Structure 1
Amino acid sequence: MLVTMKEILDHANTENYGVAAPNFFCEVDARAALEAAEDLNAPIILDISYKNSMDIIFTGSYVLRLAEQAKVPVALNLDHGQNLTHAVTAIRAGFTSMMIDRSMLDFEENVRQVKKLVEIAHSVDMSVEAELGHVGKGERYQSKDCGKLTDPEDAKRFVEQTGVDCLAVSIGTAHGSYQGEPRIDFERLSRIKERVAVPLVIHGASGTGRDKLAEACRLGINKVNINNDLLQAAYEEIIAHDMSGNGAYGLWKHLKNGYKQRLMEYIQLFGGAGKAWQSNQHGLIRKEISLVE
């Protein structure tokens, strides 16, 4: 059942649980993610970045068909869109949401660019996620310039001025594999949640630690982006089997199973299991848009 990300996350915000948002690269892991969600009767958000797809419009065409056929609520989200070209491509691909990542800019310019894209996206019923503060890279986690934590008061102003549907916050997580022990600022998260009405998102969940992720969801995180841990699980499943000779024919089966099983663990950890619902809509109706330069 294809729905908007806003519908999924507003439900999660009301019920206080986290929705898994796995990154996918192709049909194999997209199917694994959807099967995991269906097996656990959980809503799910499929994330794909512009740079990780050889043809994001083609990828969107078949993943949308899979999402429409799914028995649980599914949103298809552009992850870390960087500019207008990325946003318009996501619209053409039929995505139901987009993340606009201008977190490296100063506050005012971040607001200006995100607000413009929110207006475009909302005109075609797309949800919008943006990031305030900046989630850095795990390999630089020990560096002083690794990321910038989100200021709670700035978060309140940002949401009010942009009209975003959900906000990715920086509270100590980092993208990719960590160098050092993750330090999550739960007190900061609580202060942001008190000031911001829209659902909150964390990026860089891989390697953060299960107890920390569970606590983050308990304190108000509603979307959890996960990637590296799923890829590691797929790799571990492959090397656990004899791939010599005809064993190589099992490559894709093992990859899919490793990815799926680890994702199921996270869906349960975040509190999403059993939270799927049936929509009154018979499919998502999308508007046409004419973009004028």
Structure 2
Amino acid sequence: MPIATLKDVLKSGQEKGAVGAFSTYDLFTAQGVIAGAERAGLPVITMVGAPVLDKPGNEEVGKIVVQLAEQAKVPVVVLLDHAKSFESCVKAIRLGFSAVMIDGSHLSIEDNVKVTKKVVEAAKAVGVSVEGELGALAGAEDGETVMRAKMTNPLDVPSFAEATGVDALAISIGNAHGLYKGKPMLDFNILEKSCASTETPLVLHGGTGIDRKQFARSIQFGMRKINIGTEIKVTYMDTFTQLHTGNREAYDLIGVPQACKQAVANVVESYVRFFSNGWKEEI
């Protein structure tokens, strides 16, 4: 199946649900993410973080994810997550990624619009989708840390979406990257006002740790893409640790990664089913 764009999956039968987006780091996490989506028979978004792609040798990881997406039985998007520069986005596009996320949330809104618009113009010229971000998330992800959140102003959403032409827009409503300290409480007032002001699909980052009732309300109000990153890492590493600790002398680099891949697939299958349709049972 041809690799899908973000624009493709966010408009393809998802009007009343959301698409799951999951961080990938290597062959096994990528295979696990795609296998989970194939079991569910639903589209999925594989994300490779810009800090991951920029590590020495990790361009090969990007190429592997693109190849797996092209061979998948369901629509798979390959998205560069949290790029901070135009150059990072161009690098991913040249590797065959079908979507890029330019994160200008650390900039003034004027500079955010400027860099996002520049990425949109370059990406759309070659059929690549673009996600932007308005408002900043606190927390740590893939080696990068943001100390303070900056909640999205709903009044800025329609003008930002129109000025940049993004295919999706991540907003900050109390969500955070990494593991939450205490129970996350999303601000649905910001979300409702933001959704009402634009037709651009909205994105919820920092999904690990948010309970299903809050996910359901987010989708009900209009979130169309939900990111899960930390849970993929936790699932993979905990499975690896438990199996290796249980039989340390085996040093099983064949069976253990396969089991980790299946554990990731189980997590992804559960989430994509819930985001697509299962959320309705929580309303």
Q: TM-score, normalised by structure 2?
A: 0.89
CA distance in 2, matches of 1:95, 1:113: 19
Match of 1:255 among 256, 260, 279: 260
Which residue pairs with 1:174 in the alignment? 176
Task: Kindly provide the CA deviation profile for residues 16-60 of structure 1, in whole angstroms up to 9, marking residues without a partner as x.
Answer: 211111000011110001100000001001100121133443223
Alignment-mate amino acid for residue 257 of structure 2: W
Which of 196, 199, 202 does residue 201 from structure 2 map onto?
Answer: 199
Over residues 187-245 of structure 1, what are the superposed CA-to-partner deviations in whole Å (9 max), with x where a residue is unaligned?
21111111110111011111122221222122211111111112212233334432322
- Separation (CA, whole Å) in 2 of partners of 1:98 and 1:272: 26
Aligned residue number for residue 26 of structure 2: 26
The worse-fitting range, judged by mean Cα deviation, of 129-138 and 154-163 is 129-138
2:86–2:102 CA contact under 8 A, matched in 1:
no
Q: Give me the whole-angstrom Cα distance separating, in 2, the residues matched to 1:158 and 1:192.
A: 11
1:42 aligned onto 2:42:
yes
Query: Over aligned residues, Cα RMSD in angstroms?
Result: 1.8
CA contact (8 A) 1:19 1:224 kept: yes
Structure 1 residue 11: Cα displacement: 2.4
In 2, Cα distance between equivalents of 1:6 and 1:251: 36
Identity value in percent = 35
Between Structure 1 and Structure 2, how many residues are aligned?
Answer: 267
CA distance in 2, matches of 1:18, 1:12: 9
The letter of the residue matching 1:253 is: Q
Distance 2:137 2:153 in 1: 13
Unaligned runs of 5+ in 2: 142-146, 279-283
The CA distance in 1 between the partners of 2:82 and 2:260, in whole Å, is 25
Alignment partners' CA distance in 1, 2:61 and 2:111:
31
Structure 2 residue 78 is matched with structure 1 residue 101:
no
Equivalence for 2:247:
243
Counterparts of residues 27-106 of structure 1 (less than 5 Å) = 27-53=27-53, 54=55, 55-106=57-108
8 Å CA contact retained: 1:48, 1:77: yes
Task: Supply the distance in 2 between the matched residues of 1:138 and 1:207 (Cα, whole angstroms).
Answer: 14
Q: 1:160 aligns with which of 149, 162, 165?
A: 162
Q: Contact conserved, 2:86 with 2:118, CA < 8 A, in 1?
A: no
SS of residue in 2 equivalent to 1:248: coil
1:149-198 per-residue CA deviation (whole Å, 9 max, x = no partner) reads 11111011100111111100111110001112211011211111111101
* Closer/same/farther in 2, CA of residues 153 and 215 from structure 1, 3 Å limit: same
Distance 1:136 1:194 in 2: 25
Residues 210 and 157 of structure 1: CA distance in aligned 2, closer, same or farther (over 3 Å) = same
Pick aligned residue for 1:268 from 266, 273, 276: 273
Distance in 2 (alpha carbons) for counterparts of 1:216 and 1:264: 19
1:188 maps to: 190
- Pairing partner for 2:213 from 188, 211, 214: 211
Query: In structure 2, how many angstroms separate the alpha carbons of the residues matched to 1:98 and 1:122?
Result: 11
Q: 1:138 to 1:178 in 2, by over 3 A?
A: farther
Amino acid at match of 2:85: N
* Contact 2:236–2:264, Cα closer than 8 Å, also in 1: yes
Distance 1:211 1:138, change over 3 A: farther
* CA positional deviation for 1:12: 5.3
Give the Å deviation of 1:75.
Answer: 0.8
Residue 6 of structure 1 corresponds to 7
What's the CA shift string for 1:85-106, capped at 9, x where partnerless?
2011011111111000010111
